[in-house]
Amino acid sequence: MLNNPFAKLFYDKFQEEVLNQSTFYGDKETITHGPLENKFIERFNLFLKRCGQKTIDISHHCISDKKLARFCSSLRFYMIRNVQNLPDITSEFSRDKDLISLFDSSAQYLINRSRQYRLRGKRTQQLSDIYDYTVWKVKFQDDRGSTQMIPAKIPAKPTGTALFVFDPNRCPQNEALADKVFHHDMQDAFSGSRHEEMKTFFVHMPSSYPEEIAAANVLTTIRYPDEYTEADMTFAREQWSNYLGRNLKYNEDNEIISGYRYEDNDFVEAMKGLKIFGYCAAAADAHRCLKAFKNLAEQIYEPEVVSRAMKNVTLMAYALMPLEEKTDYQGIYFMSNDINDLSNPEHVMMTNFPELYPQIRISKADLQIADSKITETAAGDFIIVSPMPESSIQMDKNGRLVDKLKDKNSRPARLTLDMSLPAAKSAANPRKKEWRDGHRLQNSTSANLGSVNHIMFKTVFNNVLAGKTGADIFGKAATGNPNYILTPAIAYAHRRKLKE
């Protein structure tokens, strides 16, 4: 898109971090580069040209493929870290189809580079754009949140409540690692109950899934909210098939060819038990899976019946806002931002939703009215924003230091949880330095970080799981502190309407 400010940002970063750190052989010397490098530079220059930006010339530089790979893996990082300094950012720029194509191109370069390295016998992480979701059944062992992860090989049954937690982290298919990620992000959200009657599933991506594909998928979903991928359809078929009917069979085109559908009212009623929570990019994944499910449902049910059934599904999202003016499902959206430093916004939200962010962010003035800011959309969904905890220190229930919260919105930090890989060991990367803003999920799931964040989140979270809707999700605060019992209800009473 013409005049996209992200184009100049990427151009400047390429000059700074690639060209200026490469060997220049003079204007008369032409350097030959490999086909992978040439193909990416060609696509990068096409993006720059379409945005009205000067193109890159690498013909006289000997460029390290490691520096080029670092640049490709840092595009999203550059956007997030610099968005508040760019002029006139709008959603048209942040969701530009040319920008999405650039992320696809950077992912393909990294994938092909990893394949090339592995063919040469070099030890590097295998990357692929062919993927499926990894799904675990979470077995709660006590009321303190202790869990066991079991591979989810059987679709969820449409009886009772089933919660699907979509997480953006990527890790190998390992029970211990999945359990670690689940506890790391969800923290104390489940403490205080054994959840015996609720079926809980944990969903994440494999470690081979590049973050650049994730970024492209998020931006594509924001731009085209009705679209979904083959992985989304596979998930909907394999995990939610029992909500559609009994013994359903599909052909290779995802068409239902046999089985038994439910009575219309039974189908609509069963969908009340499907609850979803998604964090950041994973909330967009969940949205696409629901779109795929809707496609399957409309093959055997009338559109009006499907609409009623889908409206019984609740999607809770953290760090992602409504993707449509009127969503198919009930949406509840959480966010946290720094109220003390206006130059430290919730960077991901400001990047993805630049016009919406100023409307919904919470300020010190808002705290004079209520401890959290609630905005109601035209569709009746809720956007719940709380102030970021001032302390970054996390203590366990015995008063021991557990973690100092950091935000690492960078590829190296989220590349893998397999600590045997070099990328996970590197501490010299400046992108791994501490950086805090409201994006981190633990701002709301850690009970000891900030009472307001956790009380609001856990109150709404548990009320939704209990089947409550509307104003009832803000009732009976999940706290023993009498000073905060009415916090959610007061915030709801002062809710505002989202401007059209």
Digit-coded pLDDT (tens) for 456-482? 999 999 999 999 999 999 998 888 888
95 and 180, same structural domain? no
CA-to-CA dists, residue 470 to 334, 431, 460, 493, angstroms: 15, 41, 10, 12
Q: What SS3 class is residue 368?
A: coil
**Could you give the CA distance from residue 93 to residue 172 in angstroms, rounded to a whole number?**
34
| Residues 158 and 239 both lie in one domain | yes
Q: Has residue 426 got a pLDDT over 80?
A: no
Whether 429 has a pLDDT exceeding 50, the answer reads no
Cα–Cα distance between 449 and 337 in angstroms, integer? 14
Q: How far apart are CA 200 and CA 139, in angstroms?
A: 7
- Please give the DSSP secondary-structure letter assigned to residue 172: -
Q: What is the pLDDT of residue 73?
A: 94
Query: What residue type is 199 in one-letter code?
Result: K
State both tokens at 478: 């999940």
Q: Are both 344 and 305 inside the same structural domain?
A: no
- Measured CA to CA, the distance from residue 249 to residue 259 in angstroms comes to 6
| 270 in a structural domain | yes
- Report pLDDT digits (tens) over 50-82: 999 999 999 999 999 999 999 999 999 999 999
Classify 6 in phi/psi space as left (phi over 0), alpha (psi -120 to 50) or beta: alpha
pLDDT at 194: 57
pLDDT at 105 over 60: yes
Residue 75: in which H helix or E strand, if any?
helix 75-82
pLDDT at 397: 54
Rounded CA separation 452/264 (Å): 41
Name the band, by pLDDT with cuts 50, 70 and 90, for residue 11: very high
In a domain, 125, yes or no: no
- Let me know if 468 is exposed, middle or buried by CB neighbors in 10 A (0-12, 13-18, 19+): middle
* 104 & 134 share domain: no
Q: What's the pLDDT band for 125 if we cut at 50, 70, 90? A: confident
Q: How confident is the model over 419-438, as a mean pLDDT?
A: 45
Whole-angstrom CA distances from 372 to 16, 241, 388, 487 are 41, 38, 11, 8
Q: Verify that 284 and 389 share a domain, yes or no.
A: no
Instruction: Decide which of 284, 312, 340 is a domain's last residue.
Output: 312
pLDDT at residue 401 is higher than 70:
no
Average pLDDT, rounded, for the chain: 88
So what's the pLDDT on residue 478?
85
Bridge pairing between strands 61-62 and 147-151: unpaired
Torsion, Cα of 48, 51, 53, 57 (10° steps): 10
288 and 333 part of one domain: no
* Helix, strand, coil percentages in the chain from 3-state DSSP, rounded to 5: 40, 15, 40
One domain, residues 229 and 105 = no
In whole angstroms, how far apart are CA 453 and each of 181, 317, 338, 361?
Answer: 21, 15, 12, 14
Count Cβ atoms below 10 Å from residue 54 Cβ, excluding itself.
11
User: Which domain-ending residue is among 58, 91, 119?
Assistant: 119
Q: Which of 119, 141, 167 is the last residue of a domain?
A: 119
C-beta neighbour count of 294 within 10 angstroms: 21
- Establish if 124 belongs to a structural domain: no
Domain that holds residue 183: 130-312
User: Does pTM top 0.85 for this prediction?
Assistant: yes
Is 412 a member of any domain? yes
Q: What total number of domains does the chain contain?
A: 3
Residues 203, 283: Cα–Cα separation, whole Å: 11
**pLDDT for res 424:** 32
113/459 Cα distance (integer angstroms)? 47
Q: Are residues 169 and 48 in the same domain?
A: no
Q: What percent of the chain has pLDDT over 90?
A: 71
CA 328 to CA 166: how far, in whole Å? 18
Question: Considering the domain boundaries, does residue 487 fall inside one?
Answer: yes
Structure tokens of 153?
């090989």
How far apart, in Å, do the first and last CA atoms of the chain sit?
Answer: 25
Q: For residue range 21-61, what is the model confidence (pLDDT) as tens digits?
A: 999 999 899 999 999 999 999 999 999 999 999 999 999 99
340 and 484 belong to one structural domain: yes
**Arithmetic mean of pLDDT, 111-132:** 85
Q: Which residues contact 339 (CB under 8 A, 6 or more apart)?
A: 362, 363, 364, 367, 387, 388
Q: Does residue 172 sit in the same domain as residue 108?
A: no
Note whether 243 and 215 are same-domain residues: yes
Asked if residue 495 and residue 351 are part of one domain, the reply reads yes
